[in-house]
């Protein structure tokens, strides 16, 4: 499925620190593997970047750049079990530098110590405490939380846009990508199910916010840009969500990245494919931020398929 030498090198480097069995290890062991992998790939922050840690709405957050009228709310990935302020520090710093807006990264509580809905409660607390407009961005588990935030705020103040990066959106697991990429590098279909069980404690999931793809009504949500990795069991969740948003007259576009696996943001400095995708993500964040005042209420929704 993958013959791009840069991508293959990224996968090998990732698995050297974070082997496939780490996904199903206990939380402490998984976090140790994950932290080591993140440290291996972490790039230095852009020169002059101002970074401060503080609580917003009672939740630990990290702020990149000086305060701006519009900010970016970033929700990190990690299957709701691993990750935090340090794991995505360089990604957040680079986004803040490239877009010229302050990034607020949220250190939401993790499972299994804190089961759902602790994670969305933390994100909602930060959202309510923000006194300005924001674009919400998340990767993987954070992409699900970004979509969940928009759903939980339905009928209330919405983000300017939602940027979902290879998100898990609560699909049934019967889409083609779950079969085609069942043994994909860096995230297998069985890993997706294992993380889901940890988050919900193996209990039935009845909260529609917890499974955005299964929500009955998506109308009135923030416009969306969804980017997926082609070699990822979660790929078709992103496509299906873009289609459902479009059907609900929410502007939505979907971009699929050939030959890239889940977690490819960390390859942005070594892979041309990942770098182009990161630049596209930055462009969409900027578009949502700067178009807020000119967006018309009757703007027609768009579903754009990019491959």
Catalytic pick among 90, 97, 107, 232: 232
- Note whether 54 and 86 are within 8 A (CB): no
Evaluated on CA atoms 282, 23, 272, 304, the torsion sign reads negative
- Note whether 249 and 301 are within 8 A (CB): yes
Catalytic pick among 140, 152, 253, 271: 140
Catalytic pick among 107, 230, 262, 271: 262
Give catalytic status of residue 217 as yes or no.
Answer: no
- Note whether 147 and 212 are within 8 A (CB): yes
Give catalytic status of residue 5 as yes or no.
Answer: no
Contacting residues for 47 by C-beta, under 8 A, at least 6 apart:
none
Give catalytic status of residue 293 as yes or no.
Answer: no
Largest distance between two CA atoms of the chain: 51
Q: Burial-class residue 220 by CB neighbours within 10 Å (0-12, 13-18, 19+).
A: middle
Which positions are catalytic?
140, 232, 262
């Amino acid at each position: 499925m993958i013959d791009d030498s840069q991508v293959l090198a990224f996968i090998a480097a990732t698995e050297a620190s974070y082997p496939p069995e780490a996904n199903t290890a206990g939380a402490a062991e998984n976090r140790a593997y994950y932290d080591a992998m993140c440290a291996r790939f972490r790039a230095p922050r852009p020169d002059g970047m101002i970074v401060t840690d503080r609580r917003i709405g009672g939740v630990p957050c990290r702020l990149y750049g000086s305060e701006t009228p519009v900010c970016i709310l970033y929700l990190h990935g990690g299957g709701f079990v691993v990750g935090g302020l340090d794991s995505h520090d360089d990604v957040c710093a680079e986004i803040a530098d490239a877009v010229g807006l302050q990034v607020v990264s949220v250190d939401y509580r993790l499972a299994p110590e804190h089961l759902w809905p602790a994670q969305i409660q933390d994100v909602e607390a930060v959202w309510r405490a923000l006194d300005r407009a924001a674009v919400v961005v998340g990767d993987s588990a954070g992409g699900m939380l970004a979509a969940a935030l928009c759903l939980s705020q339905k009928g209330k103040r919405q983000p300017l846009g939602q940027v979902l990066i290879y998100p898990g959106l609560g699909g049934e697991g019967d889409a083609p990508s779950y079969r085609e990429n069942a043994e994909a590098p860096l995230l297998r279909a069985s890993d997706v199910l294992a993380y889901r069980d940890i988050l919900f404690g193996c209990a039935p999931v009845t909260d529609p916010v917890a499974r955005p793809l299964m929500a009955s009504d998506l109308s009135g949500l923030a416009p969306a840009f969804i980017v997926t990795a082609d070699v990822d069991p979660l790929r078709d969740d992103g496509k299906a969500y873009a289609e459902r948003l479009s059907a609900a007259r929410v502007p939505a576009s979907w971009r699929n990245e050939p030959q890239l696996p889940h977690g490819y943001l960390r390859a942005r400095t070594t892979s041309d494919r990942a770098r182009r995708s990161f630049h596209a993500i930055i462009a969409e964040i900027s578009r949502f931020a700067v178009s807020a005042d000119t967006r018309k209420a009757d703007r027609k929704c768009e579903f754009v398929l990019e491959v």
